Structure 1
Amino acid sequence: MYPESDDLNDYLVSDTIIDWQTPAVREKALELTQTLPDEVDKARCLYQWVRDTIPHSADAGLDIVTCTASEVLHHGTGICFAKSHLLAALLRAVGIPAGFCYQVLRLDPPVDNEPVLHGFNGIYLATLQKWIRVDARGNSKGINAQFSTGKEQLAFAMDPEADEFIYEAIFAAPVESVVNRLKMYKTRSELWDDLPQCL
């Protein structure tokens, strides 16, 4: 894996999607991490909070579509991409660079054997001088994603024989194909029929 940009400041930006300067987002990040002096502990705490406290919309049976970090926080739900937007915003709010990673899956619903894009995060840990990838999708149906600075443990194992793969770039901003889909549809039912299949 490698960062799309060599400038870590690109992974700290607050914009219309990763709107960490929104008071609610910034305050939640500080509230969750105020007793944690260590950067790795802060990153782990924020990751676990998004993974475990913000349910994946499909798991929760919710039909709302959220996109911006503040929307995900406000409504308390999102699909993988939306949850990655919130996690990046919370991390950036406490000064931890965070970006976006994507993989192509064939074996995960909603559509059998059709490729579907899945989103998660890359985090730069300055104290360790390394990037790690984490997946805050939510652990259900046998999924066991974890925060690890050593052995990566994402939500979905890949089957190269099924043409599943991870894009190696860690993007500084969510890709347009994802943002456009999340903005285009009002309900997850509609979105589910038109998820992006690649970048």
Structure 2
Amino acid sequence: MQPYLAPSTYIDFDHPTVAAQAAALAEGLQRAPLALVKRCFEFVRDEIQHSGDAMRNPVTCKASDVLQHRTGYCYAKSHLLAALLRANGIPTGLCYQRLSVGDQGAPYCLHGLNAVYLPKFGWYRVDARGNKPGVNAQFTPPQEALAFTLQDPMERDLPEIWAEPLPVVVQALLAHDDVGELSRKLPDVPLLAASQTRDSRHT
């Protein structure tokens, strides 16, 4: 679990403001890990604006920058949630969905969320991107209540739980200064053909 507990460049819970926020959120809940996870999740979901919804600059990536500016795309918000939880000793990873940018069909983009290790339930996904009409993400273990469900044959729940953000995500966030510009160039990954997936299982 060590990689999912460690600070890093973008999950920088060793930054003083992130550490202080993590401690404030944990107050009174050190012996109640589920309540602590819920409090941190709801803080990031509700108190940090989704940059695309609010059309609010700057484009953030580091957890400390997300906290400072109180805004971030889903990816950046997942970095902050990971930082707050790791600071409190709760193993937290990053995971992704591939979703249609519109209601259905191309173009597609990655959507960032988190997986938290809960002793009673194992890895459990939460999505702190921020609720709005049609989006109602909650913390309700063991049932997931994510922001989005798959509706298109080319959409995917990517199965990996990453300790660090995907390079394509970091590159996209660092390459754009304006949220409107980033919204037109959201990161994506190609899907392997079924034959390639079968071949990879035998190599």
TM-score (normalised: structure 1):
0.90
State how many pairs are aligned: 189
Shift in Å at residue 129 of structure 1?
Answer: 5.2
In structure 1, distance between residues paired with 2:186 and 2:138 = 25
Q: Deviations over 1:161-199 (max 9, x none)?
A: 431111111111111000111111111122122111127
Q: 1:168 aligns with which of 154, 159, 165?
A: 159
2:76 is equivalent to residue 85 of structure 1: no
Q: Which runs of 5+ in 2 are unaligned?
A: 191-203
Counterpart position of 1:4? none
1:169 aligned partner, one-letter code: E
2:13 is equivalent to residue 20 of structure 1: yes
2:124 aligned partner, one-letter code: I
2:156 is equivalent to residue 158 of structure 1: no
Conserved 8 A contact 1:102-1:120: yes
Shift in Å at residue 140 of structure 1?
Answer: 0.6
What's the secondary structure of 2:106's corresponding residue? coil
Counterpart position of 2:130? 138
1:181 aligned partner, one-letter code: A
1:81 aligned partner, one-letter code: Y
Conserved 8 A contact 1:101-1:120: yes
1:27-106 equivalent positions in 2, closer than 5 A: 27-36=20-29, 37-106=31-100
In structure 2, distance between residues paired with 1:61 and 1:29 = 27
Shift in Å at residue 141 of structure 1?
Answer: 2.5
Shift in Å at residue 112 of structure 1?
Answer: 6.8
Q: Deviations over 1:122-169 (max 9, x none)?
A: 00113x15110000000012200011211111100112x431111111
TM-score (normalised: structure 2):
0.88
2:184 aligned partner, one-letter code: D
Counterpart position of 2:141? 149
Counterpart position of 1:124? 117
In structure 1, distance between residues paired with 2:74 and 2:105 = 18
Shift in Å at residue 107 of structure 1?
Answer: 5.1
Shift in Å at residue 77 of structure 1?
Answer: 0.4
Q: Which runs of 5+ in 1 are unaligned?
A: 1-7
Stretches of 4+ moved more than 4 A in 1?
A: none
In structure 1, distance between residues paired with 2:7 and 2:101 = 34
In structure 1, distance between residues paired with 2:5 and 2:50 = 25
Q: Deviations over 1:68-122 (max 9, x none)?
A: 000000000001000000000000000001000101111547x973111100000
Instruction: Give identity over the alignment, percent.
Output: 44
In structure 1, distance between residues paired with 2:55 and 2:181 = 14
1:79 aligned partner, one-letter code: Y
Conserved 8 A contact 1:106-1:162: no
